């Protein structure tokens, strides 16, 4: 009888509370963070020790780059469970992002705590890939005088190799690239492509070639990736490099027209940039009329397109 009375009196409230969390979680997974936040705040008020809700709110704060709030939520998680690797990783990560936004003098005071929480997470979870990547970046970017160490970065890159060979090669390539050892970086990124072959591995190699003024190699790498992965974004990348470096004009035109034809929101780069690149290619070819046609199309699509306005003046002066 007492149980029935309890359910009669409090059952609806419990159902509403649970529905609030479920709705918040659904919004979060759909990346509707503004809708998820009040749901989780309400639920946490009624269930102050609910760690998953606390974690979600920390993640939302991090997404909004509100690092102080994120740190508060993640500290609560760490204090509640010292042996949870992911809590340490997120807390250290929020502190790291906060340190990037403040003065170098103040940022130095965060270094010890960032290091502690990242290394604690790595120790607690020997298969945690993300924290090992964070430690590679932490040690390679930090000046030696305050604890930076390429040797330690390589140690964690080697740990990554044992967990995920492709991540190991990418990490070693990153370390080499950061230290201007382009040949070593190229070798590691090629090994990452051979082992993993994901779009990201091709992107790393292509970006390295662009950075080192090797546009033809960048085009070839993107073309190879396009054959394997059929990503429309790569059509734009090839066209962009063609336009910027005056290379393979017909390939650039073909790729940009394919990009425009198959464009969708997930491609990331708006079509007006493809119009802009086509104008550049035709300018490079000395075809003023076609170049003006495409630059006007870019400006018609977006009248405030400042780069297109400047490019039009150059084309008109041909």
Residue 19: predicted pLDDT? 81
Angle of helix 306-316 relative to helix 271-284, nearest 10 degrees, comes to 20
Residues of the chain with confidence (pLDDT) below 70? 1-18, 145
Residue 145: predicted pLDDT? 65
- CA-to-CA distance for 301 and 146, rounded, in angstroms? 50
- CA-to-CA distance for 201 and 153, rounded, in angstroms? 20
Sequence-ordered list of residues with C-beta below 8 angstroms from that of 86, at least 6 positions apart, any chain: 121, 125, 128
Query: Rounded to 5 degrees, what are φ and ψ at 269?
Result: -85, 125
- The single-letter DSSP state of residue 30 is T
Residue 18: predicted pLDDT? 58
Residue 107: predicted pLDDT? 87
Half-sphere exposure of 100 (CA within 13 A, CB side): 11
Residue 302: predicted pLDDT? 96
Residue 17: predicted pLDDT? 52
C-alpha distances out from residue 89 to 33, 106, 124, 152, 164, Å: 21, 21, 10, 18, 19
Residue 8: predicted pLDDT? 42
Residue 56: predicted pLDDT? 96
Contact predicate 136/175, CB 8 Å: yes
- CA-to-CA distance for 194 and 216, rounded, in angstroms? 20
Residue 198: predicted pLDDT? 96
- Helical H runs in 102-181? 104-107, 111-124, 129-141, 150-163, 165-178
What confidence tens digit (pLDDT) does each residue in 147-173 have?
789 999 999 999 999 999 999 999 999
Residue 12: predicted pLDDT? 47
The full set of domains in the chain, from first to last, is 18-125 (1.25.40.10), 139-230 (1.25.40.10), 241-318 (1.25.40.10)
C-alpha distances out from residue 189 to 155, 222, 290, Å: 18, 14, 39
Sequence-ordered list of residues with C-beta below 8 angstroms from that of 189, at least 6 positions apart, any chain: 169, 170, 173, 201, 204, 205, 208
Residue 148: predicted pLDDT? 85
């Amino acid at each position: 009888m007492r149980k029935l009375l309890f359910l009669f009196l409090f059952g609806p409230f419990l159902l509403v509370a649970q529905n609030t969390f479920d709705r918040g979680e659904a919004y979060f997974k759909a990346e509707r963070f503004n809708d998820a936040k009040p749901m989780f705040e309400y639920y946490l008020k009624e269930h102050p020790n609910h760690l998953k809700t606390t974690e979600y709110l920390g993640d939302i704060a991090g997404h909004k780059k509100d690092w102080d709030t994120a740190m508060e939520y993640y500290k609560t998680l760490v204090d509640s469970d010292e042996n949870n690797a992911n809590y340490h990783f997120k807390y250290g990560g929020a502190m790291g992002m906060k340190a990037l936004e403040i003065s170098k003098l103040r940022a130095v005071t965060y270094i010890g705590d960032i290091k502690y929480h990242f290394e604690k997470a790595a120790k607690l979870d020997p298969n945690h890939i993300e924290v090992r990547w964070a430690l590679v970046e932490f040690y390679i970017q930090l000046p030696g005088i305050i604890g930076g160490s390429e040797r330690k970065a390589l140690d964690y890159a080697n740990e990554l190799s044992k967990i995920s060979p492709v991540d190991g090669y990418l990490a070693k390539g990153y370390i080499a690239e950061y230290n201007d050892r382009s040949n070593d970086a190229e070798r590691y990124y090629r090994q990452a492509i051979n082992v993993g072959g994901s779009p990201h591995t091709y992107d790393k190699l292509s970006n390295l070639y662009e950075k080192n003024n090797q546009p033809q190699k960048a085009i070839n790498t993107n073309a190879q990736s396009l054959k394997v992965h059929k990503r429309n974004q790569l059509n734009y990348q090839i066209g962009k490099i063609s336009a910027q470096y005056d290379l393979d004009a017909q390939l650039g035109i073909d790729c940009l027209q394919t990009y425009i034809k198959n464009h969708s929101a997930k491609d990331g780069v708006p079509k007006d940039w493809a119009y802009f690149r086509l104008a550049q290619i035709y300018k490079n070819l000395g075809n003023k009329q076609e170049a003006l046609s495409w630059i006007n199309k870019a400006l018609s699509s977006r009248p405030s397109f400042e780069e297109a306005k400047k490019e039009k003046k150059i084309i008109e002066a041909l």
